[in-house]
Amino acid sequence: MTSKLIDVLAVLIFVAIGRRSHEETNSISGLLQTAAPFLIAVVLSWLVVAVTKPNGAFIPALATWAITVSMGMLLRNLAFGEGTATSFIIVTTITLFVLIVGARLVAARIF
C-alpha cells in the first residue's frame, strides 16, 4: 500500500469517526466537505516532502503528519470557516499521528 493511499485513508477514517461521534450523517458529500481542508493539507505535505526529499520512512511520515495537522487546521479555520477548538486540535493531532505515522511505519515493515 502506498504512503499516499495510507494518508488519504487516514484522513477519511479520522473524519468518518469524528462525524459519527458527533452523530452527523456519513454521506459522501458531508464526509468530503469535512475532510477537504485535511485532504488539501495532505497534498501540500506531499509537495513539501517531494521537494525536501527526507530519507527513511519515519521523517517523511512525520513531516506529512505535522503539515497535514497544521495546514488542515489553518484551512479549516480560515478558508472553510469551521472551528478549531483546543480539544479538536488535540484529538486531531493524536489521531492523525497514529493513523498516518503509525500506518506508514507498519506498511514499511510489511511491504
How far is residue 75's CA from residue 59's CA, in Å, rounded to a whole number? 23
pLDDT band at 25 (very low <50, low <70, confident <90, very high): confident
Decide which of 111 and 93 is more confident: 93
Q: Which tens digits make up the pLDDT trace of 63-105?
A: 999 999 999 999 999 999 998 899 999 999 999 999 999 999 9
pLDDT band at 1 (very low <50, low <70, confident <90, very high): low
pLDDT, average across residues 31-53: 96
- Confidence at residue 23, expressed as pLDDT on a 0 to 100 scale: 78
Count the neighbouring beta carbons within 10 Å of the beta carbon of residue 14. 22
Are 104 and 57 spatial neighbours (Cβ–Cβ below 8 Å)? yes
pLDDT band at 16 (very low <50, low <70, confident <90, very high): very high
C-alpha distance across the termini of the chain, in Å: 8
